Chains A and B, each alone.
Chain A
Amino acid sequence: MAPTRPDGPAAGEAEPAPAAVATDPGEPMIVMRQVDKWFGDLHVLRDVNLSVARGEVVVVIGPSGSGKSTLCRTINRLEPIGSGQIWFDGQELPAEGRALARLRSEVGMVFQAFNLFAHKTVLANVSLGPIRVRREKPAAARERAMALLDRVGIADQADKYPAQLSGGQQQRAAIARALAMQPKAMLFDEPTSALDPEMVGEVLDVMTSLAEDGMTMVVVTHEMGFARHAARRAIFMADGELVEEAPPAEFFAHPRSDRLKDFLSKILTH
């Protein structure tokens, strides 16, 4: 199968829009219950149970290959799950179709590799979703996009193409693109791992300010400074399981499981 299959709704696009569900502020934004997933024989998610409250920032830490990216990607159903259930904002994730596209537009996602649209300017990257998905007037969408670019500190780069920007600038543009959809939650999959060290700070600053504004965030990262300052909870993931979780200070100071102790000793020596 083509690796770039732009999977998305095509069949059954006709279902009517469900009435807006009144959301209970005490209800969690993201709930995963008994989620399992396999890639062929590989059991990548093992009985994952996770609940993320509104406005909560959760950091996920774990060795490479433990399933952190897959976990993130199941939340907006970029990856379908094998069994279990996932709710976002009180609604169970819909199957492929218009309803899924609508849900994805409410979940911001930031990738390790930025994934800015290479053939569009930074401004067009940020305004594409509002114009095509939300049907905003192009002029209004561009104005809002400019304000977001200003917020992430790259308004002066608006007319450049992604390849002309530094990694840090590209990632900030990608965050602005996600924010342009006015998402209810944001997923960050190792947003600073592909960056040169001197650019990590500028991206973390933007993320910290989002956290301060009350954005619900799931962040896969090994940046302990960010975890300590911005997160309410840190979760350790290994071999597809959520092994241990605690408030960040305790998580790093008093790891309970041997696997976390071992993992922390490895990343702390660097």
Chain B
Amino acid sequence: MDVILNNRDAFFSGFLLTLQLCVLAGVGSLLLGTVLAVLRISPVPPLRWLGTSYVNVFRNVPLTVVFFFVVFALPTIGVRADFLQIPGLDQVFTRLGIQLPYFRMAIFALMLYTAAFVCEALRSGVNAVPPGQAEAARSIGLTFTQNVRHVVLPQAWKAAVVPLGSVIIAMIKNSALAGFFGLTGDLSATFQQLVSARGQAAIPVFLAVAAGFLVLTIPLGLVLDQVERRQAVTR
């Protein structure tokens, strides 16, 4: 127990950094995944092909390999995920702006990987919307973009929210890989740091780090159960 109390600041800041990582990667995945889903249902064959290829690649490559690629391969061609140094946002998420790229790289890797799953969850939601909805939208003259935005996606969301939640929960757990790819100070790096470098007792540290992840994932799971139950009632 002393191990936990003595290192509570490290655990707490680790929790906060993991939380930041998950919020940013989650939002990024949802945005990129939505774009991919729109590509996959678009009437333009090359765009559909692009969306499908992306999903096939990132859904079938291990996350570790994606991390490896982003953290070690991309910098060799000059990509350091600098596009994530978003002015304003880096005031709140201070790690975004710093010179060392590992926080941004972790977001980027998680986002690239998770977006493929977000896309598929959304697409299953789109498939749950009866074809007559999109047809009626076309018949009053809505363009493809208007159709997606005002008719198809709002209804697809409803069917997709539970699978999307599962995707985000998986992403939160996956974020633990970041500590093994250069990121310092998140929950998984704190675990390594305390146990390997400082020789603290592994079991209490494990319990504290696991609790940090559970605090993130369990409430999300409960919310999803609630949504699912409500949907079952209204169906």
Nearest-CB distance from B147 to chain A (Å)?
4
Shortest Cβ distance from B143 into chain A, in angstroms?
5
**Segment of B122-130, B161-169, B221-229 engaged in the interface with chain A:** B122-130
Is residue A76 within 8 Å, beta carbon to beta carbon, of the partner chain?
yes
A-B contact pairs, 6 of them (CB 8 A): A4-B130, A6-B144, A107-B139, A115-B133, A115-B135, A117-B151
Beyond A6-B148, A104-B140, A133-B142, whether A78 also contacts B43 by CB under 8 A is no
The answer on a CB contact under 8 Å between A119 and B155 is yes
The docked-state distance in angstroms from the alpha carbon of A239 to that of B47 is: 37
A101, B141: Cβ atoms under 8 Å? Answer: yes
Whether A111 touches B132, Cβ cut-off 8 Å, given contacts A4-B126, A4-B152, A101-B142, is yes
Q: Please judge, given known A-B contacts A4-B134, A8-B43, A10-B44, whether A105 and B140 are in contact too, CB under 8 Å.
A: yes
What is the CA–CA distance of A181 and B44 in the complex, to the nearest angstrom?
27
Closest CB in chain B relative to A88 CB, distance in Å: 13
Please name the 9 residue pairs, one residue from A and one from B, whose CB atoms are nearest each other, closest first: A105-B141, A8-B144, A6-B134, A115-B132, A115-B136, A129-B140, A6-B147, A109-B139, A10-B144
Residues on A with beta carbons closer than 8 Å to the beta carbon of B158: 119
Expressed in whole angstroms, the Cα–Cα distance for A128 and B155 within the complex equals 15
Contact residues of A between 162 and 218, Cβ < 8 Å to B = 174, 177-178, 180-181
Given contacts A9-B143, A10-B44, A128-B140, 12 further A-B contacts (CB under 8 A): A5-B41, A5-B43, A6-B137, A7-B138, A7-B144, A11-B43, A98-B143, A128-B150, A132-B146, A133-B140, A177-B140, A181-B141
A102: which of B42, B47, B141, B144 is its contact (CB, 8 Å)? B141
Find residues 152-185 in chain B having any chain A CB closer than 8 Å to their own CB. Answer: 152, 154-155, 158
Let me know if B141 and A104 touch, CB within 8 A: yes
Chain A, residues 1-32, CB within 8 Å of chain B (1/0): the string is 01111111111010000000000000000000
Cβ of B145 under 8 Å from chain A:
yes
> What is the minimal beta-carbon distance from A132 to any residue of chain B, in angstroms?
5
B187-212 near A? 1/0 per residue, CB < 8 Å: 00000000000000000000000000
Question: What's the interface size class on B, roughly?
Answer: 35 or more
Per-residue CB contact flags for chain A residues 233-249 toward chain B (1 = under 8 Å, else 0) read 00000000000000000
List A residues at the B interface (Cβ < 8 Å).
2-11, 13, 76, 78, 96, 98, 101-109, 111, 113, 115-119, 128-129, 132-133, 174, 177-178, 180-181
Q: Which residues of B contact A3 (CB under 8 A)?
A: 127, 131
Distance (whole angstroms) from the CB of B233 to the closest CB of chain A: 14
In the bound complex, residues from chain B placing their C-beta under 8 Å from that of A10 are 42-44, 47, 143-145
| Distance in angstroms between the alpha carbons of A76 and B140 in the assembled complex | 10
Contact in complex: A8, B135 (CB < 8 Å): no
Task: Return chain A residues, CB-CB under 8 Å to B40.
Answer: 2
- B136 (CB) vs chain A CBs: closest residue: A115
Chain B residues with CB under 8 Å of A113's CB are 132
Q: Which residues of B contact A (CB under 8 A)?
A: 40-44, 47, 123, 126-127, 129-148, 150-152, 154-155, 158
Indicate whether A96 sits within 8 Å of B43 (C-beta atoms), given known contacts A129-B141, A132-B150.
yes
Asked whether, in the complex, the Cβ of B135 is within 8 Å of the Cβ of A111, the reply is yes
B140 close to A6 (CB less than 8 A):
no
What A residues does B133 contact at CB under 8 A?
4, 115, 117-118
A6 vs B48: C-alpha distance when bound (angstroms): 13
Cα distance A5–B45 in the bound complex, in angstroms: 12
A104 touches B126 (CB 8 A): no
Contacts of B138 in A (CB 8 A): 6-8, 78, 101, 104
A8 B142 Cβ-Cβ under 8 A: yes
When distances are taken between beta carbons in the complex, the residues of chain A under 8 Å from B150 are 128, 132
Question: In the complex, what distance in Å separates the CA atom of A98 from the CA atom of B123?
Answer: 25
Residues of chain B contacted by A104 (CB below 8 angstroms): 138-141
Out of B127, B146, B154, which one reaches A2, CB within 8 Å? B127
Known contacts A2-B40, A2-B41, A6-B138; is A101 also within 8 Å of B143 by CB?
Answer: yes
Residue of B nearest to A112 (CB): B132
Alpha-carbon gap, A239 to B106, bound state (A): 61
Question: Which residues of A sit under 8 angstroms from B130, Cβ to Cβ?
Answer: 4, 115
Beyond A6-B151, A10-B42, A10-B145, whether A111 also contacts B131 by CB under 8 A is: no
Q: CA A47 – CA B71 in complex, angstroms? A: 62
Q: How far is the CA of A130 from the CA of B174 in the complex (A)?
A: 46
User: Nearest chain B CB to A77's CB is how many angstroms away?
Assistant: 9
Residues in chain A near residue B142, CB distance under 8 A? 8, 101, 128-129, 132-133
> B155: which A residues are within 8 A, CB to CB?
118-119
